[in-house]
Structure 1
Amino acid sequence: MSQALYVGVDLGGTAIKVGLCNADGQLLRIYEGPTQTDRGTETILNNIAAYVRELVPPDTDEWNEVQGVGIGIAGFLDIPNGIIDFSPNLPFRKVPVKEIMQEKLGKAVKINNDANVAALGEAWGGAGRGVADCVCYTLGTGVGGGIIVGGRLIEGFSGMAGELGHMAVVPDLEAIQCGCSQMGCLETVSSATGIIRMARDAVERGDRTSLAYVEELTAKDVFDAAKNGDEVAQRIVSRAAFYLGKSMAAVAIVVNPQRFIIGGGVSKAGEFLFSQVREAFVKLTPDRARNGVDIVAAELGNNAGVVGAAGLFLRA
C-alpha cells in the first residue's frame, strides 16, 4: 500500500544531510554528503539534488510518493518566496532556492530557518510528539528557537517568530551587546558562547576558580567545574539557567505551551542545568501559565533538522 513520503534537507556549511520521513514523522533513512561551499552556489544546489536522488532514486514507487522536499537553512530568509537573502556559512546572497530546486527535482519545495525546522522536528517526531503546543530552544553557539501552536510552526509575518535567543532578558546594568546589535539578549548568557565569555571574564578579573587552569575553555568545562563544586562556575551556570527560565516565563504568558524542549550542545549538561531552569521558571511564572507545563530534553539530536524540514509540508 502506498503512503505519502516527505524529504527533509539540513543544509549546513560543511555537510548536507537528507532524510526520508513518513506522514507520522518517522525517519525512515538518511543520507549525507559534503556541502562543498568553496565551489559556489551552483555546486551546492546540485549536491542537494544529487543527495536527494541518492536517498530516493527517481522512477521508483517511493519517488512517486514523495509529496515535497523541505530545506532547513541557517541565515536570513524570505520564507514565503523561498529566497535566501544571506547565510553566514554559505555563499548565498538573494538566491531563489525554492524556484531553483523545484526545477531540479520536479517536486514542491519549501525552505525555513534551521532553528525553526529543528523545533518542528522535535514537535513532530521527537520530544514534542503528541503535544499540540510546545516551544523549543536550541542552545549551541547561539540560542535558536521555534514555537509550535496547535501543531503548527509559527513564523510571523517576516519570519522572525521564535527568535528566542534575541529576547532582551538581562537588566541594563548587566547587559552586554549581542551579535544582533541589541543589548541584553538571552544569547549573551545562555548560549555556549555566552557561558564561555562569562568564564573568561571571571578568570580575567582574578576570581579564584579552577577554570583559570583550562587553556581552551568550553561550556562543558564550565559545567564540569560547577558539578565539582567550583563556586565561580556554579554562579555562571546559575546565571545562564536563570535567564533561560526567565525567558520561558515570558513566553509562557504569551503562548501558554504545554512543553518546553531544550536541545543543542549545552543541553547535554542534563538535569544539573534543567533543574535550575525549572526553578527559575516556577518562580517567575503565574500559576495558570506554569501548572502542567514540563521542561524536557530534546530527543532527535542531529536528526531534528531533517525531520523538521520534511515536516514543513504537514506542520508549517
Structure 2
Amino acid sequence: MSQPLYVGVDIGGTTIKVGICNAEGKLLHTFEGATGTESGPDTVLENIASYVRRIVADNGYAWEDVVGVGIGIPGFMDFATGVVFMSANFPGFKNVPVKATLEQKLGKPVAINNDANVAALGEAWSGAGRGLDNVVVYTLGTGVGGGIIVRGRIYEGATGMAGELGHVQVVPDMEAIQCGCGQHGCVETVSSATGIIRMAKDAVERGDKTPLADLASIAAKDVFDAAKAGDEVALRIVKRAAFYLGKAMAATAVIVNPERFIVGGGVARAGDMLFDAVREVFKKYTPERAIVDIVPAELGNDAGVVGAAGLVLRGM
C-alpha cells in the first residue's frame, strides 16, 4: 500500500459526489455522476459502487490502497447497521441496507451517516475546525442544519436527533410561526434563506417602503444586498435573522460548550454583516466562560465528501 486512502460519497438528489482523502483529510480527487434516483435504490447503490471504483482506478491508485468508504445521505437511518429507513430526497429508500449492500459490492468497510452530520465532520476534520476536538457547525441554506462534533466524533444522541440545530425554538410565541418540523418558533423559520425571504415578502405585503418591493421575486441575497445599500427594512430583517441565530448559539454553547462555532451554507456568504451581528448577540447572551469564536466554514461544497471519508478514518 503506497498510502492509505479514504473515499467519501456525498449523495444528492441528482448528483453523487465522490472524493478521495488522505489520512490528514486533504481532498486529493473528486468525481461527480448522476444519482439515478428515478430508477430506484438498487440503481443508486450500483452507481455509488461504480463511481467509487472509477475514481480510484482513474487516478492510478491500487484498490488495496482504499481503507474504506464513507457515505453521507439525507434521511433517517440506523448509523450502526447502515439501514436507511426513509429519505425525503429519495422516495424509494425505505429500509434499504446501504452499508451491507455496498460492503458486498466493494469488499471494503462502509460507514454511513446523515449528510448534515457528515458535512460538519468535514469542517471539523480539515476545514475551519482543523485541530479542534469539539465544534458545532451550522449550515444556513433553505433550512438550518448542522452537526455537533465532540472529542472528534459526531454526536448523534440516543435516537440520532442530536445536531438538529435548526429546530431549537427561540422565537417568542406571539411572533412564532410553524416550522416544517411541525413545531413553532424554530430558528429555521427566521435564520434560513426561506425565513429571510418570508420576512421580506411579509414586509412588502404590509406596504413597507423598500426597494425589495420592486423585485419580481426575492432571494435571500437580494435582502442582504439591500441591507448593505442601507435599506432600513432589509437591515431589520437581517438583524432579526442574526438575533435568533445568536440566541440559539448561546443556548447551544452552555449545553455543548464547543471550542468554536462554524457557519456555512448560502446565507453565510452574506459575510461580516451577518457574522458581526450574530457575534454581538451571542456575546450578550452567553456566559463569559462559554464565549468562543464564530467563524465561516471553509470547505464549501467539499465538506460532505471530506466528512464522509472521515467516517471511515474515525471508526464511525
**Shorter-chain TM-score above 0.5:** yes
1:131-185 deviation per Cα after TM superposition (whole angstroms, max 9, x unaligned): 1111100000111111111112111121111110011111111111110101111
For residue 88 of structure 2, what is the aligned residue in structure 1? Answer: 88
Q: Which amino acid aligns with 1:74?
A: P
How far apart are the structure 2 equivalents of 1:203 and 1:288? 42
The correspondence of residues 1-16 of structure 1 with structure 2, limited to 5 A, is 2-16=2-16
Question: CA offsets per residue over residues 25-74 of structure 1, 9 Å max, x none?
Answer: 1111111111121122111111111100111139x763212111111011
CA contact (8 A) 1:5 1:62 kept: no
Which position in structure 1 is the counterpart of 2:255?
254
Counterpart residue number, 2:73 = 73
Aligned mates of 1:141, 1:34 — CA distance in 2: 22
Provide the secondary structure at the position in 1 that maps to 2:227.
helix
Q: Note the 1:13-92 alignment, pairs <5 A.
A: 13-57=13-57, 62-90=62-90, 91-92=92-93
Long gaps (5+) in structure 1: none
Distance in 2 of aligned mates of 1:222 and 1:61:
47
Q: Residues 264 and 300 of structure 2 are in contact (CA less than 8 Å); yes or no, is this contact kept in structure 1?
A: yes
Q: C-alpha separation between the residues in 2 aligned to 1:109 and 1:132?
A: 23
Please say if 1:294 is aligned against 2:296: no
Structure 2 residue aligned with 1:149: 150
Find runs of 4+ consecutive structure 1 residues off by over 3 angstroms: none
Tell me if the contact between 2:6 and 2:313 (Cα under 8 Å) persists in the aligned partners: no
In structure 2, what is the Cα distance between the partners aligned to 1:89 and 1:16?
13
Mapped partners of 2:61, 2:145: distance in 1? 37
The residue type equivalent to 1:33 in the other structure is: G
Q: Kindly indicate whether the alpha-carbon contact (under 8 Å) linking 1:17 and 1:33 is maintained by their aligned counterparts in 2.
A: yes
1:56 aligned counterpart, secondary structure: helix
Q: In the alignment, what sits opposite 2:309?
A: 310
Contact 1:20 1:27 in 2 (8 A): yes
Residue aligning to 2:241: 240
Secondary structure of 2:262's match?
Answer: strand
How far does residue 3 in structure 1 lie from its aligned partner after superposition? 2.4
| Partner-residue secondary structure (3-state), 1:57 | helix
1: CA distance between counterparts of 2:304 and 2:61?
Answer: 25
Secondary structure of the equivalent of 1:220? helix
Inter-partner Cα distance in structure 2 for 1:216 and 1:76: 33
CA contact (8 A) 2:171 2:244 kept: yes
Q: Distance in 1 between matches of 2:215 and 2:63?
A: 52
For 1:191 and 1:84, how far apart are their aligned partners in 2? 26
CA distance in 1, matches of 2:102, 2:50: 11
Tell me how large the CA RMSD over aligned residues is.
Answer: 1.3
Where 1:25 maps in the other structure, the secondary structure is: coil
The question of 1:114 aligning with 2:143 is answered no
> d(CA) in 2 for partners of 1:311 and 1:95?
23
* Residues 79-88 or 132-141, more deviating: 79-88
Counterpart Cα distance in 2 of 1:240 and 1:258: 23
2:77 partner SS: strand
Determine what percentage of the aligned residue pairs are the same residue: 68
- Aligned 8 A contact 2:212 2:223 in 1: yes
How far residue 115 of structure 1 moved from its aligned partner, in angstroms, is 0.6
Q: CA 1:95–1:211 in structure 2 vs 1: closer, same or farther (change >3 Å)? A: same
Q: What is the distance in 2 between the residues matched to 1:264 and 1:62?
A: 35
Structure 2 Cα separation of the partners of residues 56 and 294 of structure 1: 38
2:171 aligned counterpart, secondary structure: coil
